[in-house]
Chains A and B, each alone.
Chain A
């Protein structure tokens, strides 16, 4: 019963947030993530894993990049900082950062470029309180494209670092 009730709340919030402007969602995301971090078991007040909670910024897992770039743009800072705080407050938590590139160019060079993208996320996390043994940054290069087209929108989707928490890889 409790589960059904919390599911109802989550769904209601999800429906709600989709109609709000993005900035408002960000603010509520941040307060959600704080409540999740306060509980040492990593659970939110709804009894839901904050990593799965669509209203929690921790459910956002992807950082996107410009062509040939590996620096984390400002719009993704809060997202990376939230995951870093989660790691800081949950000592046993682990993440795998997978860097990806678009398909153009050498596979091995792209593997190295994807590594740089994952490393750039890792270094922000380490500066923000995560410990080195909690974060492994690896690259999938161009080998696991999420978008399969050969146009700019597909390429942009594939220039990405994904944050995977324990049990997700």
Chain B
């Protein structure tokens, strides 16, 4: 990310490491979404004149995570350390306080400064200064939210991550990349034929997807930086459902070339085809476990579509094991980046909903009550699930926390969005 190069850290952490600080704040953030961290975000000095209000973007990020409660800042507007009246913020029950300022440099760039303060201990927990252009303000705001989230929860944030989805406008289909909140979207490719199943490479540099431009489904891999694209699976019959191996070298794909829909492994350049699943049923929607040992997939081999897993070396090397037993339609599995949770779509009496399942206890919980949910995927920090939903026949992006406590529609003004996929954190290798 270019922004990273621009960030010069002028004054940094005054106190130790970030780990364990949430314990210092004495706040329980786990368990049933009970208590949230009360945080006051004072509007940054001079931000009102800018196209993006930094504190508003940060506030929206933190609220969306479900782990923070915003404290009213009415009547107080400190921007520098010596303007902070800690007793006042203690009275407002704020555990943490964020202040900052923005000043315009002679060359037109912006100097953004922010500080995160521990109200009880009256110390600075984190802070930095960064010089950015106006169109980098939004990315910088997400970065500030990440620093706050990481400092106060001890977990990585996800606000700087990106998502991919397909936007349908009239007869046009666009594969788009945006910030995690659906904003700042730009097209990677546009076609008059459908595009489905975008999948991020583990390092976030490439996207595999299925395009129908050849009047049948073909799997492509496209590099984001160069826009170079290549058909990597274009065999006789249908080619679909790409999923990256954790090392980014191989793709699991679904081919019908030998009849039926079966799961194969192929090198990311399209060479070295190898069959993995061995059934006369539908086997599709493969996804790798993060440790690379398993492939989780959908199969109707038991009479109805259910989630299974098999060794990543194929069904010849070990029996497939069924993972879902409740309901007669469980599809679209994804594993959390830490490997602990499974998310999928279950058909319920009323519709198609997002369900999460603990990989060790096999306990499942339905998180949504909408009619047509599809394509769930985890945030890079395992905390949130992005999925496609539908309102008035229009596809929308939605977020739900893994405990089901926080649900949010993203960008309701966007028309007809489907097939979202949450990308990795930037800079991940």
- A96, A104, A115, A140: which contacts B261 (Cβ < 8 A)? A115
Chain B interface mostly helix, strand, loop or mixed? strand
Contacts of B284 in A (CB 8 A): 108-109, 111-112
Chain B, residue nearest A136 (CB) = B236
- Contact between B237 and A115 (Cβ–Cβ < 8 Å)? yes
- Contact between A119 and B259 (Cβ–Cβ < 8 Å)? yes
Contacts of A141 in B (CB 8 A): 196, 217
- Contact between A138 and B256 (Cβ–Cβ < 8 Å)? yes
B interface, how many residues as a size bin?
35 or more
- Contact between B217 and A109 (Cβ–Cβ < 8 Å)? no
- A98, A111, A116, A136: which contacts B240 (Cβ < 8 A)? A111
Chain B, residue nearest A168 (CB) = B215
**CB of A161 within 8 Å of the partner chain:** no
**CB of A44 within 8 Å of the partner chain:** no
Contacts of B177 in A (CB 8 A): none
- Contact between A108 and B237 (Cβ–Cβ < 8 Å)? no
**CB of B146 within 8 Å of the partner chain:** no
- A106, A115, A150, A169: which contacts B331 (Cβ < 8 A)? A106
**CB of B66 within 8 Å of the partner chain:** no
- Contact between B196 and A138 (Cβ–Cβ < 8 Å)? no
- Contact between B260 and A115 (Cβ–Cβ < 8 Å)? yes
Contacts of A112 in B (CB 8 A): 254, 261, 282-284
Quote the shortest CB–CB distance from B236 to chain A (angstroms).
6
**CB of B212 within 8 Å of the partner chain:** yes
- B197, B254, B283, B347: which contacts A107 (Cβ < 8 A)? B197
Contacts of B393 in A (CB 8 A): 150
Quote the shortest CB–CB distance from A162 to chain B (angstroms).
11
Chain B 204-260 interface residues, beta-carbon cutoff 8 Å to A: 212, 215-217, 236-238, 240-241, 254, 256, 259-260
Pick from A111, A137, A141, A143 the residue with the most CB of B within 10 Å. Answer: A111
- A105, A116, A119, A138: which contacts B216 (Cβ < 8 A)? A138
CA A141 – CA B195 in complex, angstroms?
Answer: 12
**CB of B55 within 8 Å of the partner chain:** no
- Contact between B236 and A109 (Cβ–Cβ < 8 Å)? no
Chain B, residue nearest A132 (CB) = B236
Contacts of A107 in B (CB 8 A): 196-197, 374-375, 418-419
**CB of A139 within 8 Å of the partner chain:** yes
- Contact between A139 and B298 (Cβ–Cβ < 8 Å)? no
**CB of B332 within 8 Å of the partner chain:** yes
Contacts of B305 in A (CB 8 A): 106, 109
Given contacts A108-B285, A138-B237, contact A119 B215 (CB under 8 A): no
- Contact between B374 and A106 (Cβ–Cβ < 8 Å)? yes
- Contact between A111 and B238 (Cβ–Cβ < 8 Å)? yes
CA A109 – CA B217 in complex, angstroms?
Answer: 13
Binary per-residue interface labels of chain B (337-370) against chain A in the complex, 1 for a CB within 8 Å, 0 otherwise: 0000000010100001000000000000000000
Contacts of A106 in B (CB 8 A): 285, 298, 305, 331-332, 345, 374-375
- B256, B329, B345, B347: which contacts A139 (Cβ < 8 A)? B256
Contacts of A169 in B (CB 8 A): 215
**CB of B194 within 8 Å of the partner chain:** yes
- Contact between B217 and A138 (Cβ–Cβ < 8 Å)? yes
Closest 5 CB pairs of A and B: A112-B261, A138-B216, A143-B194, A106-B331, A112-B282
Q: List 20 A-B contacts (CB under 8 A).
A: A98-B215, A106-B305, A106-B374, A107-B197, A107-B419, A108-B285, A108-B298, A108-B331, A109-B284, A109-B331, A111-B284, A112-B282, A115-B237, A116-B260, A116-B261, A119-B256, A136-B237, A138-B215, A138-B238, A141-B196
Give B contacts to A, CB under 8 Å.
Answer: 194, 196-197, 212, 215-217, 236-238, 240-241, 254, 256, 259-261, 282-285, 298, 305, 329, 331-332, 345, 347, 352, 372, 374-375, 393, 418-419
